[in-house]
Amino acid sequence: MFRLLGRRVLTLGTVIASMIAGSLLTAGTAAPAAVPDTIPLKITNNSGRGEQLYVYNLGTQLSTGRQGWADASGTFHPWPAGGNPPTPAPDASMTGPAAGQSTTIRVPKFSGRIYFSYGRKLVFKLTTGGLVQPAVQNPTDPNRDILFNWSEYTLNDSGLWLNSTQVDMFSAPYSVGVRRADGSTTSTGKLKPGGYNAVLNTLRGRSGGWADLIQTRSDGTVLRALSPLYGLETGALPASVMDDYINRVWQKYTGSTLTVTPFADQPGTKYYGRVSGGVMNFTNGAGTVVTGFQKPDASSVFGCHRMLDAPNDQVRGPISRTLCAGFNRSTLLTNPNQPDSGSGGFYQDSVTNHYARAIHAQTADGKAYAFAFDDVGNHESLVHDGNPSQASLVLDPFD
């Protein structure tokens, strides 16, 4: 009924680790001024919807490792002990701005989520292991019929990382931004005009279960489109949905080599993959096998887990991240040198992650977090600044 808060709440921590591992952060720049304990987050409601808006700031306090929530002033409140079965969590909701208006809250040094819901408060509970969160792929989840979404962020001594995410679902549209100390701003995640309906219509137009990712309420309100990983779990997508492409990749690299260069600033660090005995083994420049992968299934591809597990190391994890991105984007057959330098060849195979394809096609800057390692090659909808003066969350129209 519920899912432990943790699989995705630490995503930005994972992003930070992967950015450092991939040397995507700029090196050699002057140290920024100290990041304050809280920064303002301006929430603007451009949704055009008349329902009451509720906002939550839930996460892990980085200085202590405790889970809890923050109020509008940025004050941290640890969760009380939970139970088994789970017990109701304290009401952590804040009243959000009405349509056409803005409000500003302060966010502390967290790795967490900014949830927002329309019309109804979300249901959060506590178990002995901590907070549990909505699992709307389960039809009996109490949040199943609530229209909501969330953004993920980490604010620490090195700055702010803030994203828009569709890893679990595509739902209420929004964009995120950051204002730097010099007054300049950057934002991402905004859909093109008509993009929200275009994503849904693209899924509706695909056979093979993709239309069944869309969840609606009894009154006809479209609530969300589940990610393909959850589509597998609910039975909307068949388990064999990626088999044809996966089999072709395994066949290709039985007779040729897949070269992975996982670190942008280390072009000399390469790994070479060949399939033998059903396993894709990767060797380093000395010819030593460093890791191997069993042939993945669709769940491993869409979830970037299981047979494509990516530990936070310097070898298997970076290789697995690259493989996962190549499978979701269907570029492993057309480019034996991964990752790809550009997005022009993404999602061109008939067997691909059509959910990710539709979302990327409708974002104004082409960036999204449509699967867990969409940051491979910097195609993710993420803003970062080492000395932020303000963050922003804009709730966009449902058009």
Active site residues: 152, 168
CA angle 162, 228, 345 (to 5 degrees): 75
Asked if 241 contacts 228 with a C-beta cutoff of 8 angstroms, the reply is: yes
Return d(Cα 230, Cα 288) in angstroms, integer. 37
Using the structure block, give the residue that is written with the tokens 């921590």.
Answer: 13
Helix (H) or strand (E) run with residue 355 in it:
helix 354-362
- Angstrom CA distances, 27 to 19, 23, 119, stand at 12, 8, 45
Burial label for 302, CB within 10 Å (0-12, 13-18, 19+), is buried
Asked if 251 contacts 280 with a C-beta cutoff of 8 angstroms, the reply is: no
Question: Token pair of 293, please?
Answer: 């992968």
Asked if 165 contacts 174 with a C-beta cutoff of 8 angstroms, the reply is: no
Return d(Cα 137, Cα 39) in angstroms, integer. 34
Collapsing DSSP to helix, strand or coil, 54 comes out as: strand
Return d(Cα 46, Cα 177) in angstroms, integer. 15
Helix (H) or strand (E) run with residue 169 in it:
strand 169-170
How does DSSP assign 5-39, residue by residue?
Answer: TTTTTTHHHHHHHHHHHTT-SPPSPPPPPPPPSEE
HSE-CB of 370 using CA atoms within 13 angstroms: 24
Return d(Cα 68, Cα 369) in angstroms, integer. 25
**Burial call 337-356: b when 16+ CB within 10 Å, e when fewer:** ebbbeeeeebbebebbbbbb
Q: What is the DSSP letter of 192?
A: P
